[in-house]
């Protein structure tokens, strides 16, 4: 099923390309303008801001809580009827240590609050929290796609794997533009988007 979009695109492949190009341009713009610092760190409102910023030119639902239940494979994300309560719970979770931040990230992934684009928006949200609280970010180039996806799949039951994986990839290069741009490319690659290089857009 093709998601209804502002671009009037009805071909799935064409939509995926347009979505990748436009949202990567926006991700680049966020870094270059300093808009990245406007985010309410660690709050759902901050994630909404990121999601709306990335996908607002493409989807009407950008930055809005989904109103349908969604699943990936056999895993069902938080049901719509419990989503609001779940997000309030996540907002209240502590974020002072690396462990707490990853626990918060795992909970937000289980919530999966948007219709589309959750992973890409939430990885940026995670880096914003790490940057503020620990003066570090994830160097996503050092996180293998399959390792990451399988660790995230298991994280609602046991989060040690994702903590170990991401801790090994931490860097203090928090203002490194090239690192950020490559990180966006890797984050999109996890979701099957690799047509464009962020740096070239």
In a domain, 4, yes or no: no
In a domain, 2, yes or no: no
Report the predicted TM-score, pTM, of the whole model to 2 decimal places: 0.96
CATH number at residue 128: 1.10.3290.10
| Domain extent at residue 27 | 12-200
Quote the CA–CA distance of 179 and 177 in Å, as a whole number: 5
In a domain, 193, yes or no: yes
Q: How many domains does the chain have?
A: 1
Quote the CA–CA distance of 9 and 162 in Å, as a whole number: 36
Q: What's the pLDDT score for residue 75? A: 86
In a domain, 6, yes or no: no
Evaluate if residue 130 carries a pLDDT over 80: yes
Tens of pLDDT along 145-181?
A: 999 999 999 999 999 999 999 999 999 999 999 999 9
In a domain, 142, yes or no: yes
Longest dimension (CA), the chain: 45
In a domain, 3, yes or no: no
How confident is residue 35, by pLDDT bands cut at 50, 70 and 90?
A: confident
In a domain, 46, yes or no: yes
In a domain, 5, yes or no: no
Quote the CA–CA distance of 125 and 130 in Å, as a whole number: 9
Tens of pLDDT along 59-111?
A: 999 999 999 999 988 889 999 999 999 999 999 999 999 999 999 999 999 99
């Amino acid at each position: 099923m093709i998601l209804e979009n502002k671009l009037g695109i009805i071909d799935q492949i064409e939509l995926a390309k347009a979505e990748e190009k436009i949202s990567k341009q926006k991700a680049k713009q966020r870094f270059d303008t300093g808009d990245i610092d406007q985010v309410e760190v660690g709050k759902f409102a901050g994630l909404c801001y990121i999601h709306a910023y990335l996908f607002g030119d493409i989807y009407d639902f950008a930055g809005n809580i989904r109103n349908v239940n969604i699943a990936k494979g056999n895993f069902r994300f938080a049901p719509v009827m419990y989503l609001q309560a779940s997000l309030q719970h996540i907002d209240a979770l502590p974020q002072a240590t690396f462990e707490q931040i990853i626990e918060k990230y795992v909970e937000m992934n289980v919530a999966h609050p948007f219709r589309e684009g959750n992973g890409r928006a939430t990885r940026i949200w995670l880096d914003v929290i790490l940057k503020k609280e620990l003066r570090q970010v994830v160097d996503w180039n050092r996180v293998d796609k399959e390792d990451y996806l399988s660790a995230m799949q298991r994280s609602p039951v046991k989060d040690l794997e994702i903590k170990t994986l991401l801790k090994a990839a931490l860097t203090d290069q928090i203002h490194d533009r090239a690192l950020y741009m490559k990180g966006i490319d890797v984050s999109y690659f996890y979701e099957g988007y690799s047509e464009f290089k962020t740096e070239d857009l």
